């Protein structure tokens, strides 16, 4: 069985494997939950100055993927099989978004978890995602 990854290893993995988007994200912490920052820039905004749904979707997906790797190590082929996202309120303008990923089940075949997204410094959840991943064989 593979070893998990720490924050520095997760950040290096993101840069190495996904250089086209790695600059948008930062791993804040990893433990029972993985906390990830979306560094909000003009490319993440939609008219009206709020963060776009696809940007929040990406934060949820990347945070859960890294939460899985934090447990199982840099194993290829863990892939998203389902995501359901609720957009609850408009995030406060001018703030990065923080995604908190929690694994609910890490099984042999599937991993299931959720991600709560908040504007930095705010308590209110702006979006909630439930995700399921198909796990690679023989880890």
Going by pLDDT thresholds of 50, 70 and 90, the confidence category of residue 2 is low
In the chain, % of residues over pLDDT 70: 96
**Measured in whole angstroms, how far is the alpha carbon of residue 18 from the centre of its chain?**
13
Q: Rounded distance, CA 61 to CA 80, Å?
A: 8
Q: Rounded distance, CA 99 to CA 76, Å?
A: 23
Predicted pLDDT at 138: 63
Q: Indicate if the pLDDT at residue 103 is higher than 50.
A: yes
Q: Indicate if the pLDDT at residue 126 is higher than 90.
A: yes
Predicted pLDDT at 104: 97
User: pLDDT tens for residues 69-102?
Assistant: 999 988 767 889 999 999 999 987 789 999 999 9
63 belongs to a structural domain: yes
71 belongs to a structural domain: yes
74 belongs to a structural domain: yes
23 belongs to a structural domain: yes
109 belongs to a structural domain: yes
Domain count, the chain: 1
Single pTM value for the model:
0.93
Report yes or no: 96 and 135 within 8 Å, Cβ to Cβ. no
Domain with 82 in it? 7-134
């Amino acid at each position: 069985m593979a070893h998990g990854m720490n924050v520095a290893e997760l950040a290096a993995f993101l840069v190495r494997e996904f250089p086209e988007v790695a600059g948008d994200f930062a791993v804040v912490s990893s433990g029972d939950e993985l906390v990830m920052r979306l560094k909000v820039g003009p490319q993440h905004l939609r008219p009206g100055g709020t963060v776009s749904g696809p940007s929040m979707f990406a934060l949820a997906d990347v945070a859960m993927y890294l939460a899985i790797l934090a447990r199982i190590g840099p194993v290829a082929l863990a892939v998203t099989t389902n995501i359901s996202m609720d957009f609850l309120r408009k995030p406060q303008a001018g703030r990065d978004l923080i995604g908190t990923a929690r694994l609910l089940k890490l099984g042999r075949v599937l991993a299931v978890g959720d991600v709560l997204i908040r504007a930095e410094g705010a308590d209110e959840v702006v979006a909630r995602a439930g995700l399921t991943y198909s796990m690679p064989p023989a880890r």
